[in-house]
């Protein structure tokens, strides 16, 4: 694996690190991987998960770039007109150009956690060079099944209800109840997401959905994918994996190792 | 203020090109350069934005600045469990040499927060910087190690983070998200440092007696607040204090 730190982009405003396999023999034939920021964490990712993932993928023969989107981490802003979504699309296309220039890649797989998954979804729904995506704790919608699985066990165990109520009471006034700086992004409608995902799958894009225990507030069983997205669940281009023990940012090294292996295996099966 | 006014150049340097650095220089050749020594572990991620803001402020004041990552941390090569304090000190000296060579500056200053401060202090003992600025440096290694162990155990049991508490075995060999090697444990177990009187010491936790160059920050930075483990450290006050200190040095 080799590493190249680069400054790039249409305004030379983006900072990233490209990891490439030692042998370039068939790297150009494989898709290049683009790893997106998770929230405001810079390009190394929460607990350095993006560094670990990029290096594993490079070791398996895939060129991978992890970089900071405009105004995040070390990347600068631009005076470009347009929405944040337009900016994200242009930034990712700049990263594609780097992968093309240095590794010869002409098609790409996007990977992202949380807001990174939302950005991956947006770009994958527009750019035809995207052949696959890994969405970690990305879009999903609560269903009747979700509510049943969430509330029924609690109703059947009054002790649990009492303990949950007690925990909630204890948390009142604690510092974690203080609003921290942050912005909530409104999710698109389920119908829009279904339509976009269906389009991606019909165009042959391979899609991997990963849900951690941190997503249990809106996704609590693999079956929910079908409840939520219908026939997409049976599409051979779609795979769903859950890591219910792990937290949202995979703080434990063992959880991260299992996540990395799952993604690398999916890459090898898919491309 | 961002990349339009200031161009930071990323690159790898050091042994086998294994260390990541980000260099920024003002428009005119500077006479002074500042090396920003990062902390380790989650402190590094939490303070990334703060270090960037500090770098931009210093460049705007006409100084050359280099940020870098130690082996096994950030964008540098190596795994987290390969990071040792001895290697971090070597990496700091390497980075200082790189910064001197690239900028030809007469004076070289260093800044470090938390373990970045401890590492800067140890590098300073080997090859003195012209001035040292520290923020909440870890001086008592055994106490810091005990604190990391305690926070890590508390994190494992946190059912707001996990669906069920995780076992000690599942969290073994790690502190708050980052695997560590035995050597780092051993190094912390014997690390006891003191701050030279000339160094600027910014104290956000009311740890040090007020004297000389010890300056209290009004707002605690909350390094050891588990509830803010994934929240960025921000402090305009810290940047202003460093800026004011720089004026006394020029």
Number of domains in chain B: 1
pLDDT for residue B7: 84
Q: Judge: B225–A15 Cβ closer than 8 Å, yes or no.
A: no
**Closest partner CB to B163 (pick from A44, A48, A213):** A213
pLDDT tens by residue, B178-234: 999 999 999 999 999 999 999 999 999 988 887 778 999 999 999 999 999 999 999
The pLDDT tens digits of the residues spanning A207-219 come to 999 999 999 999 9
Three-state SS sequence of A164-228? HHHHHHHHCCCHHHCCCCCCCCCCCCHHHHHHHHHHHHHCCCEEEEEEEHHHCCCCCCCHHHHHH
Would you call B171 and A252 a contact, using CB atoms and an 8 Å cutoff? yes
Instruction: State which H helix or E strand residue B66 sits in.
Output: strand B64-68
The position carrying tokens 């209290």 is: B216
Question: Given CB atoms, is B16 within the 8 Å cutoff of chain A?
Answer: no
Which position has the token pair 């990305």? A138
Give tens-digit pLDDT for B44-100.
999 999 999 999 999 999 999 999 999 999 999 999 999 999 999 999 999 999 999
Burial code of B108-125, b = ≥16 C-beta within 10 A, e = fewer? bbbbbbbbbbbbbbbbbe
Instruction: Check if B210 contacts A (Cβ < 8 Å).
Output: no
Q: Which CATH superfamily is domain A2-146+191-270 in?
A: Alpha/Beta hydrolase fold, catalytic domain (3.40.50.1820)
User: A51 — contact with chain B (CB < 8 Å)?
Assistant: yes
Percent with pLDDT over 70 in chain A: 94
Question: A236 to chain B, minimum CA–CA distance in Å?
Answer: 30
In a domain, B150, yes or no: no
- ipTM rounded to 2 decimals: 0.94
Q: Structural domain of residue B106, as residue ranges?
A: 8-140+194-249
Domain CATH code at residue B22: 3.40.50.1820
Residue B139 C-alpha, separation from nearest chain A C-alpha, in angstroms: 24
**Which one of A5, A44, A176 has the shortest CB-CB distance to B227?**
A176
The answer to whether the CB atoms of B48 and A7 lie below 8 A apart is no
Please indicate, yes or no, if residue B173 is contained in any of the structural domains: no
Choose among A5, A4, A37, A8: nearest CA to A21.
A4
Number of alpha carbons in the 13 Å side-chain half-sphere of residue A46:
23
List CB contacts (< 8 A) between A167 and chain B: 159
**Structural domain includes residue B163:** no
Sequential DSSP letters for B119-180: HHHHHHHHS--SEEEEES---BHHHHHHHHHHHHHHHHT-TTTSSSPPPTTTTTTEETTEE-
Taking a C-beta distance cutoff of 8 angstroms, is the pair B68, B55 a contact? no
B142-176 residue pLDDT tens: 999 999 999 999 999 999 999 999 999 999 999 99
Mean pLDDT of A256-262: 98
CB of A253 within 8 Å of a chain B CB? The answer is yes
Residue A176 has pLDDT above 90, yes or no: no
Residue of A125, A96, A121 whose CA lies nearest to A108? A96
CB < 8 Å to B74, chain A: 44, 48, 51
Closest to B111 in 3D by CA, of B195, B34, B2: B34
Q: Tell me the domain boundaries of chain A.
A: 2-146+191-270
β-pair partners for B107:
B32
């Amino acid at each position: 694996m080799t590493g190249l730190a680069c400054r790039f982009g249409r305004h030379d405003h983006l900072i990233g690190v490209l990891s490439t396999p030692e042998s370039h023999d068939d790297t150009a034939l494989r898709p290049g991987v683009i790893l997106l920021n998770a929230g405001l964490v810079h390009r190394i990712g929460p607990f350095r998960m993006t560094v670990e993932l990029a290096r594993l993928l490079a070791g398996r023969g895939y060129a991978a770039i992890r970089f900071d989107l405009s105004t995040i981490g070390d990347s600068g802003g631009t005076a470009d007109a347009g929405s944040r979504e337009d900016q994200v699309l242009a930034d990712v296309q700049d990263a594609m150009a780097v992968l093309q220039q240095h590794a010869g890649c002409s098609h790409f797989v996007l990977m992202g956690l949380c807001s990174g998954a939302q950005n991956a979804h947006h770009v994958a729904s527009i750019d035809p060079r995207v052949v696959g995506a890994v969405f970690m704790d990305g879009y999903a919608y609560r269903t009747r099944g979700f509510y049943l699985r969430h509330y029924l066990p609690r109703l059947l165990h009054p002790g649990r209800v009492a303990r949950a109520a007690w925990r909630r009471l204890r948390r009142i006034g604690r510092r974690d109840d203080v609003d921290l700086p942050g912005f909530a992004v409104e999710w698109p409608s389920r119908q829009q997401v279904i339509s976009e995902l269906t389009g991606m799958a019909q165009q042959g894009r391979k899609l991997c959905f990963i849900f951690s225990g941190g997503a249990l507030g809106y996704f609590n069983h693999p079956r929910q994918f079908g409840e939520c997205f219908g026939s997409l669940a049976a599409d051979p281009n779609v795979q769903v994996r859950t890591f219910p023990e792990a937290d949202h940012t995979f703080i434990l090294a063992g959880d991260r190792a299992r996540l990395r292996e799952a993604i690398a295996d999916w890459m090898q099966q898919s491309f | 203020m961002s990349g339009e006014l200031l161009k930071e150049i990323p690159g790898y340097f050091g042994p086998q090109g294994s260390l990541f650095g980000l260099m920024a220089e003002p428009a005119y050749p500077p006479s002074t350069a500042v090396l920003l020594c990062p902390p380790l572990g989650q402190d590094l991620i939490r303070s990334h934005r703060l270090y960037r803001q500090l770098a931009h402020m210093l460049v705007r004041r006409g100084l050359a600045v280099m940020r870098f990552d130690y082996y096994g941390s950030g964008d540098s090569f190596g795994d987290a469990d390969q990071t040792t304090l001895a290697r971090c000190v070597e990496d700091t000296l390497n980075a200082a040499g790189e910064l001197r060579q690239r900028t030809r500056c007469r004076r070289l200053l260093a800044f470090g927060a938390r373990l970045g401060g401890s590492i800067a202090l140890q590098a300073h003992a080997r090859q003195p910087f012209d001035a040292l600025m520290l923020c909440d440096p870890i001086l008592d290694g055994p106490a810091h190690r005990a604190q990391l162990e305690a926070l890590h155990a508390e994190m494992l049991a946190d059912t707001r983070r996990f669906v069920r508490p995780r076992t000690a075995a599942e969290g073994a060999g790690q502190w708050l998200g980052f695997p560590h090697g035995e050597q780092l444990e051993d190094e912390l177990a014997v690390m006891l440092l003191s701050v030279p009187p000339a160094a600027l010491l910014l104290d956000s936790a009311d740890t040090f007696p007020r004297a000389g160059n010890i300056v209290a920050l009004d707002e605690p930075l909350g390094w050891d607040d588990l509830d803010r483990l994934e929240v960025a450290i921000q402090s305009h006050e810290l940047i202003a204090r460093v800026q004011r200190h720089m004026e006394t040095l020029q």
